[in-house]
Amino acid sequence: MQLLLASMKRQGWTDSGDDRTIRAATGVVRRLGCFPLAITEAAHYIASNGEKALSDFIPDYEQNVLAHAISHPPSQGKTADNQPFKLSILWNMSYNSLTVDQQTLLNTISFFDPTGIPLDLISTGAIKARGVGSESLEFLRNNQRFKGCKSALTRSSLVMQNENAGQLWMHQLYQESAQARMNFEECQRSWDRAVALLDAMWPIADRSKRRRPDLWPKQTKYLPHVQSLAYWYRFYNATKHPLNVDDRFAQLLVQSARYVIIKRVDFLPFLNEDLIVFA
């Protein structure tokens, strides 16, 4: 209970100090099975959703549990009330509290490497991509809109920000949860937006001078995200709903392969496999 209250206070929540607060917090902790990670996730959700969020938490949680049970019946012999399940319910609650634009941004960046997503890949990338016709990024039409969406995501705890490195970070488990939540249509739209962002920011050397050391720092910065796109392409290509890709993705793979060859980087062993598909 102390962990829950302390986590909420660190995020600006004001403790009224009465018995109702103690009882409500104790009920939340017990419902989550005293699972520390679930408790800290619940603290983020409560602190971000107003003063009634603590007293309303258990009814909201149970409603999400019921909705999940209807949509995803548990397999025979498996219990739904385990630790990963508790986290997925909490993540769904936080996701549902976001606006459509914030959800769209979250779905889009779930295609990138979750351990360090450069802020400029999103903010500058959206402006550049819109300049060449990517209207699906209209919701990020200026830096103010991007900052508003980003702030909401970091407050929700679904995404964290490293101020010094200028990066967003997402837990890999949540990345997989975000992918699993999307239906095929939203997955395709999110993929298209992610490709548009990376295509806009990847620096391309002139054909007359392929060896451009001045471009290597940026190519190194964005290379893990090409790797992530290639991973998800292969993942969905093995399902009933393969992603529809265009020349932009093929171009990213070609440019990345050239960089790897020139730099002799021991990286992305599956890039060449994907290049064969487009050869």
Burial of 69 (0-12, 13-18, 19+ CB in 10 A): exposed
Q: Which domain holds residue 19?
A: 2-96
Residue 273: predicted pLDDT:
54
41: confidence class by pLDDT, cuts 50, 70, 90: confident
Q: How confident is the model at residue 76 (pLDDT cuts 50, 70, 90)?
A: very low
Q: Residue 77's pLDDT is what?
A: 43
Of 57, 79, 96, the residue that ends a domain is 96
Please tell me whether residues 121 and 256 are part of one structural domain.
yes
Q: Quick one: 153 and 273 in the same domain?
A: yes
As a whole number of angstroms, the distance between CA 247 and CA 223 comes to 18
Segment 235-256 shows an average pLDDT of 91
Residues 53, 107 share a domain: no
**What are the backbone angles phi and psi of residue 68, rounded to the nearest 5°?**
-65, -40
Q: What is the pLDDT of residue 54?
A: 81
What's the Cα-to-Cα distance from 210 to each of 205, 255, 256, 279, rounded to whole Å?
Answer: 6, 10, 12, 20
- Tell me: pLDDT of 279 over 90: no
138 and 224: one domain?
yes
Same-domain check for residues 154 and 256: yes
Of 96, 119, 139, the domain-final residue: 96
| Separation between Cα atoms, residue 89 and residue 111, nearest integer Å | 21
Q: Of 64, 96, 128, which residue constitutes the final position of a domain?
A: 96
pLDDT given for residue 80 in this prediction: 47
Number of domains the chain is built from: 2
Same domain, 134 and 220: yes
Q: How many secondary structure helices (H) and strands (E) does the chain include?
A: 13, 3
Q: What is the pLDDT, as a whole number, of residue 110? A: 97
Nearest to 197 by CA among 146, 250, 124: 124
Q: Are 253 and 161 contained in the same domain? A: yes
In this structure, the answer to whether residues 75 and 173 fall within a common structural domain is no
Give 1's contacts (C-beta < 8 A, 6+ positions apart). 22, 25, 26, 29
**Lowest-confidence pick of 136-140, 203-207, 268-272:** 268-272
Asked if the model's pLDDT at residue 75 lies above 80, the reply is no
| 180 and 78, same domain (yes or no) | no
Kindly report the pTM of this predicted structure: 0.77
Least confident of 139-143, 161-165, 255-259: 255-259
Would the pLDDT of 275 be above 80?
no
Of the candidate ranges 2-11, 62-71, 141-150, 193-202, the one whose mean pLDDT is the lowest: 62-71
Say yes or no: 119 and 223 in one domain: yes
Asked whether residue 184 falls in the same domain as residue 272, the answer is: yes
179's torsion region: left (phi>0), alpha (psi -120 to 50) or beta? Answer: alpha
End-to-end, the C-alpha distance of the chain in Å comes to 58
